Structure 1
């Protein structure tokens, strides 16, 4: 797995979501289409684990988080940016999603959750905000952001 292979893998997902609204229906569709254990979920999770192990994902660290934006919003990824964050029993900085956010939750510890949700997909609609929190162990989270838009709350 290389960053270029990872881009192609993510592009296969973003091609199918680029025209859909980021809402509860997308959340349900993603979890039904690519649930934990499906070939797409497993390929993305494996690629993320490999990328972290090889150092081209999560290559920055601050405040107990390992993170990194692997792709800016690109035509190849249908206008979505891609970040991967490694978290363990921590709440990250509060931020807002002007255009929404799509997350793939990949527990590294059995039972680990992201914002109270187990392995799978989580969609936040445009204008939503949260303090991303991993509890009950470690997880990788793949963040897909339309146009790369994210606004961190001052002082968070």
Structure 2
């Protein structure tokens, strides 16, 4: 798996997301179409694991979190930026999603959760905020940000 092949894989998903409202209905649809038991989920999870192993994903580290933005918001990714993080029993920095956030949760430890969500997808609406937290083990989380928009809080809220 190369970064270019990864971009093509992601583009297959983002093409179907472009222009849709980021809400609970989208999360339900993603979990039906690309849920943890699906071939598409397995392909994305395998690609992320391979990218981490090959060193082109999660190639930075701070505060016990490995992370990296592999793609800025591009026409090829239908206006979504793509980040992947590797977290283990830790809360990340508080931030706001001006345009929303779509997350693919890929536990590396059975039972690991992201913000209380198991393997699969969660969607944060525009203007939402959180302190991303992986509990019960280790997980990779793929973030899709419309327009690449994210605002880290200065206070750490």
TM-score range, shorter chain: over 0.9
For residue 21 of structure 1, what is the aligned residue in structure 2? 21
Helix, strand or coil: the match of 2:75? coil
Unaligned runs of 5+ in 1: none
**1:39 shift after superposition:** 1.1
For residue 40 of structure 1, what is the aligned residue in structure 2? 40
Q: Tell me the TM-score normalized by structure 2.
A: 0.99
Matches within 5 A, 1:61-72: 61-72=61-72
Unaligned runs of 5+ in 2: none
**1:37 shift after superposition:** 2.1
**1:60 shift after superposition:** 0.1
Helix, strand or coil: the match of 2:77? coil
For residue 123 of structure 2, what is the aligned residue in structure 1? 123
For residue 58 of structure 2, what is the aligned residue in structure 1? 58
Q: Tell me the TM-score normalized by structure 1.
A: 0.99
* 2-structure distance, mates of 1:112, 1:54: 23
Matched length? 156
Runs of 4+ in structure 1 over 6 Å off: none
**1:19 shift after superposition:** 1.7
Helix, strand or coil: the match of 1:22? coil
For residue 82 of structure 2, what is the aligned residue in structure 1? 82
